[in-house]
Amino acid sequence: MQSVDPATETRIDSFDRHDAAAVEKRLDRAQRGFETWRERSITDRQALLAGVSDVLEANESEYARTMTAEMGKPIEQARAEVQKCARVCEYYAEQAGTFLQDDRVAVEPGAKTFVAYEPLGPVLAVMPWNYPFWQVFRFAAPALAAGNVCLLKHAPNVQGCAEAIADVFEAAGFPEYALQTLRVADETVADVIADDRVRAVTLTGSVAAGRAVASEAGAQLKKTVLELGGSDPFVVLDDADLERAATVGCQSRTYNTGQSCIAAKRFVVHTDVYDEFVDRLRTEMAALTVGDPTDEETDVGPMARADLRDDLHDQVERSVAAGATVELGGEPLDRDGYFYQPTILTDVPTDAPAATEELFGPVAAVFEVESEAAAVALANDTEYGLGATVWTNDRGRGEAVAREIEAGCVFVNEFVTSHLELPFGGIKNSGYGRELAGEGIREFVNRKSVWVSDP
């Protein structure tokens, strides 16, 4: 497994895969450790999580540099990611006990009836490269607080991040078995899922990866949570604040170099404001600074791998061949590194790749619609259902439209992102299950109903 700097195309480091004996050792350690960890008090687990937050804050710059080097995230955004990881640890350090306390349920006089929330065991996490710290911490913090232990199979190109994350937990005082890395090939994941010691699986990644993991876990009757792709609509109605919508739309499409499941990808714009919005969006995206991700002034860095850049360009070219118009960009940058120009496509046919496929990079596809009803219909005309945005100066109208859109989260007049206090996840081909908030910590527990009567 090699880490390659996507800005310079130079090798950073290499990591040996774990052989069968090493995997066996980690699985055995996880199972044995779980029996001890589950008995630790919730207050102990919360205190250790608070310590993880401290470690992250103390070493923020170091971890940010690791992310930027391995997957090209602009350094300011990398620091923000470390900060968010610290906040999620603080959040569950404060709230886990409340979320996991027994729920008393009155059924019959004289009987004590309640629901207890108990850990499942070792949970395998198959994690992606695009948010190499955040995706892990938003799972691991609640899972560990609930009394589970974690096995982390990270993306091959961010193994430095994976090892750094394991070091964070160790530095905070977590036992070695609490979070272990598994450096294994994708084809080995099925064997790990099938192992009796693994009790559940969570995956953030592509639809194809989600189907494979869900199929294997389903065959073993094991719980899964899947957070998959997205083709989020960004709906601009005829009464929207166009200046703010264009500013936020640009940010939402290009943050993390557009490599985000909840990025705005399909801009659905009412015909009355279409021309002005496209002009404003073009101005915003043309002003972005593309370049060295270690430079504080950089807005858009390289894509994480050469194949990702090439696949994105292929989607753009096929969309243009189908009839789309390039309003801005449309080409890789002629320089070292895996850079792609911020791009705007208009006149996109509804059967073109820019309409039907997820564009995982800084390319915005803009669609013109004649009515609110047409906007909702186009927003829902996708296999995905992760996030969505609605822009209007009428709060009541915005809420009404939000209720009509098929997605796991809809934001009105706001940037779509995950919040600690709100459950996060999708529907349709964007996956199932929820992360964060109380719903997230209760995904990997046994909701045990208990009835106690007098003898």
pTM (2 d.p.): 0.97
Q: Is 227 a catalytic residue?
A: yes
Model pLDDT for residues 236-263, shown as the tens digit of each residue: 999 999 999 999 999 999 999 999 999 9
Confidence (pLDDT) at 342? 98
Burial status of residue 450 (CB atoms within 10 A of its CB: 0-12, 13-18, 19 or more)? exposed
Tell me whether strands 2-5 and 10-14 are parallel, antiparallel or unpaired.
antiparallel
Are both 159 and 40 inside the same structural domain?
A: yes
Are both 396 and 446 inside the same structural domain?
A: no
Euclidean distance between CA atoms 302 and 304, whole angstroms: 6
Only one residue has tokens 């990866």, namely: 209
CATH number at residue 438: 3.40.605.10
Confidence (pLDDT) at 203? 98
pLDDT band at 414 (very low <50, low <70, confident <90, very high): very high
When divided into structural domains, the chain yields a total of 2
In a domain, 418, yes or no: no
Are both 256 and 298 inside the same structural domain?
A: yes
Please identify which of the residues 227, 358, 372, 406 carries the catalytic annotation: 227
Q: Is 261 a catalytic residue?
A: yes
Are both 327 and 193 inside the same structural domain?
A: no
In a domain, 98, yes or no: yes
Model pLDDT for residues 106-150, shown as the tens digit of each residue: 999 999 999 999 999 999 999 999 999 999 999 999 999 999 999
Are both 380 and 318 inside the same structural domain?
A: yes
- Residue ranges making up the domain that contains 438: 2-228+428-452
Euclidean distance between CA atoms 369 and 272, whole angstroms: 9
Mean pLDDT, the chain, integer: 98
Please identify which of the residues 261, 357, 435, 443 carries the catalytic annotation: 261
Residue 342: CB partners within 8 Å, gap ≥ 6? 253, 254, 285, 286, 288, 290, 300, 328, 329, 362, 363
In what helix (H) or strand (E) does residue 109 lie, and over which residues does it extend?
A: none
Instruction: Please answer whether residues 420 and 442 qualify as being in contact, where contact means their C-beta atoms are separated by less than 8 angstroms.
Output: no
